[in-house]
Structure formats: C-alpha cells, structure tokens
C-alpha cells in the first residue's frame, strides 16, 4: 500500500489515494436519533455471496421499486454506491445497487456485484466492532455510517479514504483477478477516518507512519472480531488481495515492507507504510508477544527482553484509547509510546501488567522512552483542502476536518460559500445545492475557547 499523487477521480481534492501493491449518499449522511441498539438494525435480512467474505447475512433496505438496496439504517445509513467504472465526482457519484430478491453477488472474484457486497459486509462488521468494543458509533462517533463507493475508476488495485465526504473509494476488480474489498482493507480505510477526526495525524514523517499503522491495526482487529471463516483472522494485511499479503505485522521485513525496528533513519523511508512498520510490530507483540507463535515469528530488536502478549482485546483497547484521546497531529514514536502508556494507565492502573507490557513492547521495537516527546501544537487544526468541485443545480456536501490537540471544543465559521450552500457548525458539514456557477474562494476559520484560531482558504469550483 503506497500513497500516490492522484485520486480515483484523478485529482487530489483533499483526499488521499492509497494504492495497495505487493511492495508495500449515505445519500447525504443520515443522522440517527441516538445510537442504534446493538444488533437492532431495521431492514431486511439479505444473503450475500462474496468472494472475500463467503456467504453471509447482510441488512438491506426496501427500495421504491419493491426490491432491495445496500443501505443499512441501523448502522447509521451505511451505504454502498456503485460508480460502474466512472470517476469520483463527489458523495452522490454512482448509483445504489439494487436486487429484486435480496440475494446478492455470485462469489466470483472479478464480479463487480460481488465486490459490492464484500465492501458492504466489511463496512457493517467494522461498524459493529467500533460500537461493541469501543462504544463508537461511526467514524465521527455521531451515529452516521460510512459511505462506500465501489467500482471507482480503472481496475488498478486502489483503496482510499476521502475525508471531505467521509467515504471509502474502491476500484473495480481486474478481469480474472479479485477486488481489494477484503475486511481488513475496508476497515483500514475507515480507520483513516477515525484517526482523522481524533488524532488528526500529519500525513508525513513518523506521524504519517503512525497514521498508516493505526489503520492496519484497526483492520486486523475488525478481521478478528468478524471471525469469518472465509477470511480467517490473522496478522497479515490484505492477504486475500492481488499481490497480498501486503504486510506482515509479526515481522515487516518479511516482504520488504519496512524495517520493523525503529532507528533515526526511519523518516527517510519512501512511504508512510514503511515508516509505520515498527508500530504494527509493536502492536503484534503487545497482543501476541515476541518470538514464535501460531501467528508468526516476531523477534525483538537489539536483544531486548521477550514480551508476553496481552491478547487483542486489551491491546486493542489500549491502542484505540491512545489514538482517540492522546495522540495528536505531530505525534511521533516517542509520543506514541507516551500515549499508549497513558491509555494503559487509564484503563488498567499505573502498576498493572498492561502498563509494563506496553513499555516492554515498545522497547522490543527500539522505542525505549529516552527520546523526548515533541510538544503538541496549540489551537485548532484544519486539514488541508486544495479545492472542491461541484455542479450548479446538483446537491452535494463536504465535511471540514477540524481537530484540536488539547481536545478543546472548536467553533467553525465559513465565508464566501456559493449561494445555495450552508455550514452546519455542529457537524462541520457544508451542504446544499450550489445555484450559481463560478469559482468561490471560501475561507474557513476554526476558533477554540482560548481564542486560538486557524484559517484556511480553498477554491470551490461550481461548474
């Protein structure tokens, strides 16, 4: 998995394209009234024949024609939209796949309808994991399910996350091959959304590596939580995708995907995934332990003492709390060590075996606590947005990703919006129907209670 300079619509537009290779709306987001009850999703029970997921039960919705659509209201309006090989043109791109008898897919690897249900099922089980284990309802914790756009652009093995629509983009399966729409890959992309609205990692240096590592960790935890025999849980990333496994968490050096042991030259690695290698090895040892096991062989670095793992449940809770509560945009490996120690202390107490295991697991990948933790930035941060592109007379929406290193509340304002659009400051969502074509310089201002501000100007082009 590597970052590239284009998106599946062939422009950046504030999003990140992630190409998965061997080297490496919700139709308008639908708010729910309070968190849905566990396993109480309304709708119909469909049968999906996926390639990655096998035959599984999914929750669908009746459409106006009397058939069924890949929409799950009980999971916050989670939805799949199929672009049919077209390029991403915003959150309303493509169409909702429908089916007359609520029997979906063929199980054939390169069938695009099968790719749809693989992606949909993966998003459902990701929602379930976040809800059941972490009490989080959706990417932003606001009860809104993710939008998954499938069969986007060319069949070139691409999966990405677009922050301005909080959506996952997945390219079509190549003829005779298979899609990228495996559980851990889809959960990986949703993980970028969760870390984006909490830690707000910079997408470069050690923080960029932690950004990718966090998504690998979440993808693995979801795969284990799903327990799907067709995609048996493991500590490999994208093992069922073309060219997979893409990374091995026990020892990232196995396929040349990273060093696994931290050293000062790590930031010179050519991709964020390679920079993130020590973090995924740390998590493996925190969960499984070092040395040989049924899951792999994970040697410690530099002769560090062996580590006895805590298991996925405790390791996952520690990591998730660290990312969502303590890590910030410029968190590096020293900061990640400090954040996970704080999280373990919160959850299990300062003298717990969990705290000592976190320290041992970091030492085992070369992060021994001797480097200083960089001071966190002060005041709000607005994620960089280059431009938005929409059409006059067409409904649209965009989210502005705003984070605060001190977890303070932030007020967002916007000036210069195209006529027909408005900002909802409570959700940082700008939506509506632009009525007049033109190029609009939009200025966004984020302000915290102490008066610290950040501004960002983008170009909103209405064709």
Are 160 and 8 in contact by the 8 Å Cβ rule? The answer is: yes
Cβ atoms < 10 Å from Cβ of 345? 16
Residue positions annotated with a catalytic role: 189, 273
306 neighbors 312 (Cβ within 8 angstroms): no
Long-range contacts of 236-240 (CB under 8 A, 24+ apart): 237/1, 237/184, 237/185, 237/188, 237/280, 238/1, 238/20, 238/180, 238/182, 238/184, 238/185, 239/182, 239/184, 240/52, 240/178, 240/182
Radius of gyration of the CA atoms of the chain, in A: 21
CB 160 within 8 A of CB 189: yes
Rounded to whole angstroms, the Cα distance separating 112 from 50 reads: 10
Which residue from 285, 202, 201 is spatially nearest to 248, judged by alpha carbons? 285
Torsion over CA: 297, 303, 304, 308 (sign): positive
């Amino acid at each position: 998995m590597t970052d590239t300079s284009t998106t599946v619509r062939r422009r950046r537009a504030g999003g990140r394209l992630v190409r998965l290779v061997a080297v490496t709306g919700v139709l308008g987001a639908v708010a729910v009234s309070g968190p849905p009850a566990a396993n109480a999703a309304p709708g119909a029970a469909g049968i999906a024949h996926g390639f990655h997921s096998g035959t599984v039960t999914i929750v669908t919705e009746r459409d106006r024609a009397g058939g069924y659509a890949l929409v799950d209201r009980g999971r916050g309006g989670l939805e799949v939209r199929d672009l049919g090989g077209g390029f991403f043109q915003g959150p309303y791109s493509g169409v909702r796949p429908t089916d007359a008898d609520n029997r979906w897919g063929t199980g054939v690897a390169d069938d695009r309808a099968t790719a749809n249900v693989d992606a949909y099922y993966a998003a459902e089980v990701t929602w379930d994991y976040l809800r059941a284990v972490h009490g989080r309802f959706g990417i932003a914790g606001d009860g809104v399910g993710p939008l998954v756009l499938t069969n986007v652009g060319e069949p070139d093995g691409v999966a990405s996350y677009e922050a301005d629509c909080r959506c996952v983009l997945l390219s079509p399966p190549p003829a005779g091959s298979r899609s990228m729409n495996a559980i851990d890959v889809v959960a990986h992309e949703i993980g970028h959304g969760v870390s984006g609205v909490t830690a707000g990692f910079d997408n470069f240096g050690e923080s960029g590596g932690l950004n990718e590592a966090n998504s690998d960790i979440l993808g693995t935890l979801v795969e284990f939580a799903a327990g799907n025999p067709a995609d048996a849980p493991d500590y490999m990333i994208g093992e069922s995708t073309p060219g997979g496994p893409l990374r091995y968490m026990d020892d990232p050096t196995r396929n040349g995907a990273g060093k696994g042991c931290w050293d000062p030259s790590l930031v010179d690695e050519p991709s964020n995934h390679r920079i993130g290698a020590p973090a995924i090895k740390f998590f493996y040892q925190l969960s499984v332990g070092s040395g040989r096991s049924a899951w792999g062989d994970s040697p410690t670095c530099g002769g560090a003492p062996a580590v006895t793992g805590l298991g996925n449940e405790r390791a996952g809770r520690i990591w998730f709390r660290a990312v969502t509560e303590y890590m910030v945009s410029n968190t590096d490996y020293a900061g990640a060590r400090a954040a996970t120690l704080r999280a373990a202390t919160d959850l299990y107490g300062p003298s717990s075996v969990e705290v000592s295991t976190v320290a041992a697991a970091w030492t085992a990948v070369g992060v021994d606590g001797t480097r200083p933790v960089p001071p966190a930035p002060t005041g709000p941060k607005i994620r960089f947005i280059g431009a938005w592109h929409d059409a006059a007379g067409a409904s649209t929406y965009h989210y502005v990703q705003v984070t605060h290193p001190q977890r303070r509340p932030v007020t967002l304002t916007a000036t210069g919006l195209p006529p027909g659009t408005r900002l909802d400051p409570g959700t940082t969502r700008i939506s509506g129907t632009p009525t007049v074509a033109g190029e609009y310089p939009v200025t966004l201002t984020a302000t915290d209670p102490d008066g610290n501000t950040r501004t960002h100007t983008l170009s909103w082009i209405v064709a």
